[in-house]
Amino acid sequence: MPASLQSLMEAANSAVPRISPEEAKSMVDSGEAVIVDVRDGAEVAKTGKAAGALHISRGLLEFKADPDAPSHEPRLKEDKAVILYCGSGGRAALAGKTLQDFGYEKVYNLGGFTDWANAGLPVED
């Protein structure tokens, strides 16, 4: 049976735990996690991003996550927690599942950028 969006989302949401903006900020501040914005560049340009977040669009994640790829992002490490967010949490969940498939063990879904911003947490351009 072929996959559907619903089945992919269910699998991703059940595999990638959702955390609050405050939990995410605490993990980033302690150095135990990196936060990644997986939205498209136009979205980030319009709203900014969580302060200190890496911007890796969903379409480039595999190229940045694979340590053997020439375009690997060195701040992504399989032994460090990765917190993802997007517009509402869907792409972040799918991206988190992808990272788990790549061997990342500590992957979390923050949800949407607005969750971070509405919590009064710092934003940058």
**Positions marked active-site:** 86
What is the CB-side half-sphere exposure of residue 113 using CA atoms within 13 A? 23
Tokens (6 digits) for 124: 């940058």
For residue 102, the surrounding DSSP H or E stretch is: none
Which residues, in sequence order, are CB contacts of 105 under 8 Å at separation 6+?
78, 79
Tokens (6 digits) for 9: 């989302």
Measured at the CA of 79, the angle between CA 96 and CA 102, to 5 degrees, comes to 40
Instruction: Report residue 4 CA to chain centroid gap.
Output: 22
